Amino acid sequence: MQKQHKIDMCSGSLWDKILLFALPLMLSSMLQLLFNAADVVVVGRFAGKEALAAVGSNTSLISLMINLFVGLSVGTNVVVARDLGAGRKDNVSRSVHTSVTLALVSGVVMMLFGVVMVRHILEWMASPTDVIDLATVYLRIYFFGMPANIFYNFGAAILRAQGDTRRPLYYLTAAGVINVALNLLFVIVLRLDVAGVALATIISQYVSALLVLRCLMGEQGPLHLDLKKLRLEWPVVRRILEVGLPAGFQGVLFAMSNVVIQSSLNSFNDPVIVAGSAASANIENFVYAAMSAFYQAAITFVGQNYGAGKVGRVDRVALECTGYVAVTGLVLGNLVYCFGTQLAGIYAPGEPDVVAQAIIRMGFIACPYFICGMMDTIVGVLRGIGYSVIPMVVALVGACGLRLAWVATVFPLYRSPSTLYFSYPVTWSITGGVLIVFFLCIRKRAYAKVQGTGEAPYLAMEGTHPTDEKKAGAR
């Protein structure tokens, strides 16, 4: 990788480097969201509120289906970052080729599963009868883009491990422009409606994936990708899974709870409520994307510094990333609520009832969204030092479990969308508090493993120890 695309994370000041890393990533995430947002805006303006509900109500289901593999890309990021910090360049190359192979295989599996099962899943979610046919068409086409979607996330994770967040931004900019142009062509000119926005999305996803592929193949350093070397090396897969699989399951658990919330909203059998929630969720996602950049920064900066044995800088990264995410969430979340009428109106012009429902949701979710950002950042710190199972367990109990209990107990007593939305800040606060306590409890033990050694343990999971792989020359 060329020098201008690198960030020296293990020396010098941190606050400016974190911003240098996070700002392009923030813009990249927002552009990625534009894939779905463009779908929702175009279909809402030119195909009606039923089509809007069909596209928008799929958000939680799509997240459920891909979060496992996005979590695996987090494992790739941590493994590559820690090897780079410890100077293990040969291991970096092996991790790159194994990660790309894993992404391609995962993408094909997800595509086949989604195309076959989507109708059954939507029926299980109790999608409204006037929405389910359109939603099925959208999702079946969308899943044909899964190989590209998953490959892009793995490729971008590899580039982020060395501090390169700018080139993924350039690639998503090109893909985003193509997506918007194709949306307008397919929906307005060709009248393809829901099918058109799905086609535009997957075409743009393949563009971004091909650009990342070209980038990795053109690298000259340890991130260079040689297609002839693509293979699954199981010791590398194990290292990726130790961090990535719990991260993916955590994402799945959050998405599952969101599917339950979506199903509860569907139970009102009111397209206005569903469309309002979908519009608000798409707007809130931009706030989350901004905060998530600091979660990714925490993973990568902590991973490299922990790999180098610089535990003092790990603490500084944790504090600075948490501060950045709190300010970002507070400012953007409350701005979204203040301008909620205008923003929701973009998605549902001439639909005041839909806008009103969107504002209700924003008050419960957008305003306290900074709590979610702080929670995620602590999770990023824990994953960077190799603790990935505990955040998954905490998410299972504190987020998924509590939301399910909320739907089963509180919601029947106070049956309204507001009751469902209020479960989010409650579960964020409880889960985040538990994670902070856990980090403070394990911090010294985790640091003792690498302090003064300049090299992190090869195994990333809690309670594990370095293996003999280094002796054997495998690492």
Residue 211 lies in a domain: yes
d(CA 166, CA 386): 26
Asked if 264 contacts 420 with a C-beta cutoff of 8 angstroms, the reply is yes
- Region of poorest pLDDT, from 27-41, 120-134, 211-225: 27-41
How far apart CA 124 and CA 33 sit, in angstroms, is 26
- Tens digits of per-residue pLDDT, 57-103? 676 677 666 777 777 888 899 899 888 887 788 888 999 999 999 99
| Residue 286 in domain | yes
Domain coverage including residue 283: 6-457
Going by C-alpha positions, the residue among 311, 336, 248, 270 that lies closest to residue 443 is 311
Query: Is 20 within a domain?
Result: yes
Examine residue 469 and state whether it is found in any structural domain, yes or no.
Answer: no
User: What average pLDDT is seen over the chain?
Assistant: 85
The number of C-alpha atoms within 13 Å of 286 and in the hemisphere containing its C-beta is: 21
d(CA 369, CA 362): 10
* This prediction's pTM: 0.79
433 part of a folded domain: yes
Is 440 inside a domain boundary?
Answer: yes
For residue 158, the model assigns a pLDDT of 94
Residue 1 covered by a domain: no
Domain count, the chain: 1
Taking alpha carbons only, the member of 340, 404, 399, 400 closest to residue 367 is 340
pLDDT digits (tens, 9 = 90+) for 442-472: 998 888 887 655 444 444 334 333 333 333 3
